[in-house]
Amino acid sequence: MKTEISLPELSIVAITRGLLGAGVAFVLSDHIEPVQRRAVGWTLTAVGVLTTLPLLLDVFGNKVDES
């Protein structure tokens, strides 16, 4: 089985993974006030996770049989 993904789909996956990483970085950072840091961090993490899941289902649902 082979998975095909277009360049725009790949870009969206990369952006959502970046949001997830930025969210985790904010949660672990010490450069802003803890309350603001947690709010921003968890929001970015949630957006990253919630937008990545449907994309993963779409990507892995587009498998092409090479037969």
Both tokens of 45, joined, read 């993490």
Residue 48: burial class (beta carbons within 10 Å; 0-12, 13-18, 19+): buried
Q: What is the pTM of this model?
A: 0.53
Chain centre to alpha carbon of residue 41: 13
**Tokens representing residue 4 in the block:** 């095909």
Please tell me the predicted confidence (pLDDT) of residue 63.
59
pLDDT value, residue 64: 52
Kindly list the domain boundaries of the chain, sorted by start residue.
2-64
Low-confidence ranges of the chain (pLDDT < 70): 1-3, 62-67
> How far is the C-alpha of 28 from the C-alpha of 32, rounded, in Å?
11
